[in-house]
Amino acid sequence: MKILVAGGTGYIGSHKVVELMQQGYEVVIVDNLCNSYAGVVDSIAQITGKRPDFLELDLADADATECFFNHYTGINAAIHFAAHKAVGESVAKPLMYYRNNLYSLINLIKNMEKQGAGNLVFSSSCTVYGQPDELPVSEQSLIKPAWSPYGNTKQVSEEIIHDVCIATKLKAIALRYFNPIGAHASALIGEYPIGVPNNLMPFITQTAIGKREVLSVFGDDYPTPDGTAIRDYIHVVDLAKAHVVAVKRMLSNQCKSNFEVFNLGTGSGYSVLEVLRSFEKVSGIKINFKIVARRAGDIEQVWADTSFANRELGWKAALGLDEMTHSAWEWEKALRNIELKTQ
């Protein structure tokens, strides 16, 4: 089975590629490298003992995407990770987000449909729930107005996919990730954002290693026990394993409808300070941090009701917060050695 992984050199995509290849799938990665490095393909080859095909491609470019599909046939399913993903940045640059995230999806499904490669797994997000009225959020919870342009791109993307699934033979699964953190146990792949990280975990590890001076904690006046915002952090390897289950479900025709949606989280929420304390415990390093104002577009708290995914997919997140922060730290240290060697 040949699987197209769009955005496969990125953080979550690279972990997914490893899991797929270890299960015997043939993988072709496309990525425009706007937030990742081609060297990730070498690391994937080192972990799996096999090199996935890789092509540099901007999926938001309609002609280039069509050209790719004209030359690359026989794809059984596509997993679509390729998007911009920073909530705060999307508030500052909405058009960049709408253009990239929506054009890339439309170009991908248009060409898949033409090829008859009608299976899509889409990277959605718990951001589609906005700030929910009740916690935990289940797949049945109300989709409220998005709090950021990024969140809106995920809501609109799901609507586009839903409509195309009705109109054509496309089958799709949207996986609503909560907050993936951590890295592969080999410490050969992990989160490696270009420039200053937007996400919490890489900012913590980069502060610990000395790349950043101080971590800003965005707000301590939320209505939470310690005043900082709460998220459902999930180990990226657990997340990658759930994708393999989703792909198998589609390819073996076990989906119960043409468009299915699942929450991927652990079911537990942790505050920013709890993540910080877990990191300090596993690394033995004290993090220099300061409390600053809330970040635009941030919601106060969210965590998942995972019972539907657990039951239907037969999947459950296995790794806890300390394992997440520990693996993120091992990755950051490994990265320092790689960077020192290449200087």
- Got the DSSP string for 307-332? HHHHHHH-------HHHHHHHHHHHH
Q: Which does 7 bind (CB under 5 to 8 A by kind): ligand UFG, ligand NAD, none?
A: ligand NAD
Give the Cα separation of 131 and 151 in Å (integer): 11
The values of phi and psi at residue 55, to 5°, are -130, 135
Minimum distance, C-beta of residue 106 to ligand NAD, in the bound complex (Å): 11
Q: Which does 267 bind (CB under 5 to 8 A by kind): ligand UFG, ligand NAD, none?
A: none
Minimum distance, C-beta of residue 131 to ligand NAD, in the bound complex (Å): 16
Restricting to residues 309-328, name those near ligand NAD by CB under 6 A. Answer: none
Minimum distance, C-beta of residue 216 to ligand NAD, in the bound complex (Å): 18
132 binds ligand NAD (CB under 6 A): no
Q: CA-based angle 178:180:184, to the nearest 5?
A: 155
Minimum distance, C-beta of residue 128 to ligand NAD, in the bound complex (Å): 10
What interhelical angle do 272-283 and 200-209 show, nearest 10?
A: 40
Q: Is the CB of 24 or the CB of 195 nearer to ligand NAD?
A: 195
298 Cβ contact partners less than 8 Å away, ≥ 6 residues apart: 87, 88, 147, 218, 219, 229
Q: Which does 139 bind (CB under 5 to 8 A by kind): ligand UFG, ligand NAD, none?
A: none
Of 85, 178, 199, 182, the closest CA to residue 136 belongs to 178
Binding residues (CB under 6 A) for ligand UFG: these are 85-87, 125-127, 178-179, 198-200, 203, 215-218, 229, 231, 272, 295, 298
Number of residues in contact with ligand NAD under rule CB under 6 A: 28
Give the Cα separation of 325 and 328 in Å (integer): 5
301 Cβ contact partners less than 8 Å away, ≥ 6 residues apart: 131, 135, 222, 224, 229, 230, 231, 269
- Active-site residue flag, 129: no
Restricting to residues 65-104, name those near ligand NAD by CB under 6 A. Answer: 81-83, 85, 100, 104
Restricting to residues 226-285, name those near ligand NAD by CB under 6 A. Answer: none
Write the interaction track for ligand NAD spanning residues 165-184; mark x where CB under 6 A is met and - where it is not. Answer: ------------x-xx----
Buried-exposed string 223-241: b where 16+ CB fall within 10 A, e elsewhere: ebeeebbbbbbbbbbbbbb
Q: CA-based angle 293:297:301, to the nearest 5?
A: 80
Restricting to residues 41-70, name those near ligand NAD by CB under 6 A. Answer: 57-60
Catalytic, out of 72, 97, 150, 222? 150
Q: Is the CB of 117 or the CB of 253 nearer to ligand NAD?
A: 117
Q: Which does 82 bind (CB under 5 to 8 A by kind): ligand UFG, ligand NAD, none?
A: ligand NAD
Amino acid at 156: V
The values of phi and psi at residue 207, to 5°, are -70, -40
Q: Give me the active site residues, please.
A: 150
For ligand NAD, the binding residues (CB under 6 A) are 7, 9-13, 31-36, 57-60, 81-83, 85, 100, 104, 123, 125, 177, 179-180, 199
